Amino acid sequence: MRVHLACTADPCSASHSHRRIVFSATKTSLSLNRCWRGLQFEHNTLRTALCGRHPPSAVAQMTGVRPQRAFQIVVAATRTWGIGSKGDLPFSLPGDMAYFKKLTSQTCSPKLKNAVIMGRKTFLSIPEKFRPLKGRLNIVLTSNPPTAAAATGAALTPACNTAPRAPVIRAAAAADTASVPTAAAAAAGGQDENQAPPAAQKQQQQQDSKQALANQQQQQQQSQLQQPSDELLYAASLEAAMALLEDETRAGCIETVFVIGGGQVYREAVASSRCSVVHLTRVEADPPCDTHFPDITAEGSGWRLWSCARPKYDNSTRYQFLCYTKDAPAAPTSSSSGSNNISQDVVGQPPVLPSGIASKHDEYQYLDLVRELIEEGCRRGDRTGTGTLSKFGTQSRYDLRHAFPLLTSKRVFWRGVVEELLWFIRGSTNAKELQDRGVHIWDGNSSRSYLDSVGLGHREEGDLGPVYGFQWRHFGASYTDMHADYSGQGVDQLAGLIERIKINPECRRLILTAWNPAALPDMALPPCHMMAQFYVAEGELSCQLYQRSADVGLGVPFNIASYALLTLIMAQVCGLQPGEFVHTLGDAHVYSNHVEPLKQQLANPPRHFPQLLLNPEKRAIGEFTAEDFTLVDYQPHKTIKMQMAV
């Protein structure tokens, strides 16, 4: 069950006795410092090689230094980052509760368990019959761990209350004695010199009352907490809890460490260098909240989206499971069930994602398809004579709500994606327009020799005929050449599509097609990405592309980015938010001369997808230029060259 909501901070959880000590070399010891750095580099290299493959205890034995364990946060928050209201959850989501249990309980190795760290109020917010959370090591942060007496409930009896309250009782007795005048003073009608003035007496009594109340509250807290056990430990701070888990007796027994609340614990955890992953349930609602989680999407936060699951619904509330990791070039790794060699999350190393996570990085869909085609594809011939490994009928889904699916396992020619799409939108069929902008992706199919080979020798070089853009803007018009003015001719599918989305968003005829059988003989190349259907729900615009022929190595990364971009443009023009891009492939194939380059690409783990910003001032489909798109934080692997089959 979801338990992070305990809201107000537990003061004890904020104590942080451990501090990192940093030594800096003076000018007189620079040479010694250089030698030390050299040794340290060799040592860290060894640690880096070992940490990903061995638990911290094993690394400690091999290197003499115990690596710091990292932890991951699990939290559910509203759109405004609210996580609690008056000590309770502001939403009821059974599906989120089930995911929380799976995420924090499931391990790759049946011999290991996970640990959950929480504040005292969070722990006490769990129904008593579920405390501690089963199948996990629970660590509760509190400065008042239970005593043996408190655990039995005896602490509430007067006999057991005597010892803890002795200082208070003594102070009260001293105050009472001082308030009685001595006989001499009474006889003289004066005040004993040892007697405190009335104002001081009142102040002392107030302090005594506060102390007595604090002691009573402490005893009540202790009485509510259970005794430590194999599944329950107590620690005074987050660092102290991590120290317990790094102890030799536990270091090899815990797979993943999760921090699950409440508010103050979260704030400390997000700021910690030990925090490697945030598993966020984003709740599409904004109920009143008095406790909030830090905004990890704010600029400069250092956090970036890694993966996201498809939205779900509970009690008419929509929510989505998201995974954020630190902004670093090294990609997270995933645990695999049944593995005998379990990696653990270590500070300074790529995070190890838990086996119960709801989603993988979207790019793995593409990489998995590449691997499947190479290993299991049907060997077939093709019109180019190159030969392919093929599969019929595949589908991938890319979330457009939080990031832009520009593949990172190799660099994709982004400027080419933008210029070609704008060329389509203009309805142009002139490949020379792209050449003038430094984009040469259509050169092979518009060359003199190619046009002659497909029976279009009467065409000027660069004239592709009534291809994609022409069908989008002038479907059915008679084609002359690339210089003619076709204004008002044929059906402007794109303009009509935008109008229908605005007027009737639930229409099931939101279609954009480039497949015109009557015009196919006049095209230099029949359309591969032939039909797109758009869909509006929850104020979001999604697009599904059917691609009859998919060059997975060279073309598909381009196609994913192109239609994702088209969806973002259409959403802005229609006053909607982007939703999903669904990519359906008919003949999905890898050319035989692409196999080796693709094997290189498969060795490159994905990195964070970038963000794409559109100029918000542009509201008409024909207004956009290449300068209206800003790609943020695109950090791919290097370009991998592949020869186009013509």
Residue 87 has pLDDT above 90, yes or no: no
Q: How confident is the model at residue 147 (pLDDT cuts 50, 70, 90)?
A: low
**One fold for both 68-145+228-353 and 363-632?**
no
pLDDT tens-digit readout, 91-111: 999 999 999 999 999 999 999
pLDDT tens-digit readout, 538-551: 999 999 999 999 99
Taking CA atoms, 539 is separated from 157, 501, 574, in Å, by 60, 11, 10
pLDDT tens-digit readout, 612-641: 999 999 999 999 999 999 999 999 999 999
Number of H helices, E strands in the chain: 19, 21
Q: What does pLDDT average to over the chain?
A: 83
SS3 441: coil
Q: Cα 17 from chain centroid?
A: 30
Contact (CB, 8 A) for 117 and 259: yes
Share of the chain above pLDDT 70, in %: 78
Residue 249 has pLDDT above 90, yes or no: no
Question: What pLDDT, on a 0 to 100 scale, did the predictor assign at position 345?
Answer: 76
Q: How confident is the model at residue 406 (pLDDT cuts 50, 70, 90)?
A: very high
CB atoms within 10 A of CB 107: 21
Question: What pLDDT, on a 0 to 100 scale, did the predictor assign at position 611?
Answer: 97
The residues facing 582 across adjacent strands are: 397, 544
Question: What pLDDT, on a 0 to 100 scale, did the predictor assign at position 333?
Answer: 79
Q: How confident is the model at residue 180 (pLDDT cuts 50, 70, 90)?
A: very low
SS3 409: coil
Q: Cα 67 from chain centroid?
A: 25
Pairwise CA distance, residues 572 & 624, whole Å: 11
Lowest mean pLDDT among 2-6, 446-450, 483-487, 563-567: 2-6
Better-scored residue on pLDDT, 17 or 61 = 61
Helices 56-63, 30-51: inter-axial angle, 10-degree rounding? 140
Q: How confident is the model at residue 181 (pLDDT cuts 50, 70, 90)?
A: very low
Q: How confident is the model at residue 58 (pLDDT cuts 50, 70, 90)?
A: low
Pairwise CA distance, residues 136 & 407, whole Å: 37
Buried b / exposed e across 538-556, counting CB within 10 Å, b at 16+?
A: eebbbbbbbbebbbbbbbb
Better-scored residue on pLDDT, 433 or 337 = 433
Residue 4 has pLDDT above 90, yes or no: no
Q: Does domain 68-145+228-353 have CATH number 3.90.550.10?
A: no
Strands 540-551 and 529-537: antiparallel
Q: Calculate ∠ Cα 77-78-84, nearest 5°.
A: 60
Contact (CB, 8 A) for 55 and 66: no
Strands 577-591 and 629-632: unpaired
Which DSSP state fits 67? P
Pairwise CA distance, residues 223 & 154, whole Å: 8
Question: What pLDDT, on a 0 to 100 scale, did the predictor assign at position 71?
Answer: 97
Predicted structure pTM score? 0.78
Helices 363-376, 595-602: inter-axial angle, 10-degree rounding? 140
Lowest mean pLDDT among 298-307, 329-338, 472-481: 329-338
Q: How confident is the model at residue 284 (pLDDT cuts 50, 70, 90)?
A: very high
Contact (CB, 8 A) for 258 and 104: yes
CATH architecture of 363-632: 2-Layer Sandwich (3.30)
Kindly tell me the burial class for residue 630, based on how many C-beta atoms sit within 10 Å of its own C-beta (0-12, 13-18, 19 or more): exposed
Lowest mean pLDDT among 68-77, 176-185, 541-550: 176-185
Question: What pLDDT, on a 0 to 100 scale, did the predictor assign at position 522?
Answer: 97
Q: Helix %, strand %, coil % for the chain, to 5?
A: 35, 20, 40
Active-site residues, by number, are 528
Better-scored residue on pLDDT, 184 or 265 = 265
CB atoms within 10 A of CB 94: 11
Question: What pLDDT, on a 0 to 100 scale, did the predictor assign at position 336?
Answer: 56
Ordered by start, the domain boundaries in the chain are 68-145+228-353, 156-224, 363-632
- Straight-line distance from the first to the last Cα atom of the chain, in angstroms, rounded to the nearest whole number: 57
Question: What pLDDT, on a 0 to 100 scale, did the predictor assign at position 214?
Answer: 62
Q: If residue 395 lies in a helix (H) or strand (E), which one and from where to where?
A: strand 388-399
Find the length of the chain: 646
Q: Match 């520009």 to its residue by tokens.
A: 406
437, two tokens: 């902008």
Pairwise CA distance, residues 212 & 172, whole Å: 10
Residue 402 has pLDDT above 60, yes or no: yes
* Sequence letter at residue 401: R
Pairwise CA distance, residues 92 & 88, whole Å: 10
Mean pLDDT of 23-44: 37
Most confident of 27-41, 54-68, 182-196: 54-68
Helices 414-426, 556-573: inter-axial angle, 10-degree rounding? 60
Rg (CA), the chain: 33
Residue 60 has pLDDT above 80, yes or no: no
Question: What pLDDT, on a 0 to 100 scale, did the predictor assign at position 554?
Answer: 96
95, 59, 522: which is closest to 319 by C-alpha? 95
Which residues have C-beta within 8 Å of that of residue 627, sequence separation ≥ 6?
Answer: 615
Helices 556-573, 363-376: inter-axial angle, 10-degree rounding? 150
Q: How confident is the model at residue 437 (pLDDT cuts 50, 70, 90)?
A: very high
Query: Does residue 385 come out as left (phi exceeding 0), alpha (psi in the -120 to 50 range) or beta?
Result: left
Q: How confident is the model at residue 286 (pLDDT cuts 50, 70, 90)?
A: very high
Q: How confident is the model at residue 171 (pLDDT cuts 50, 70, 90)?
A: very low
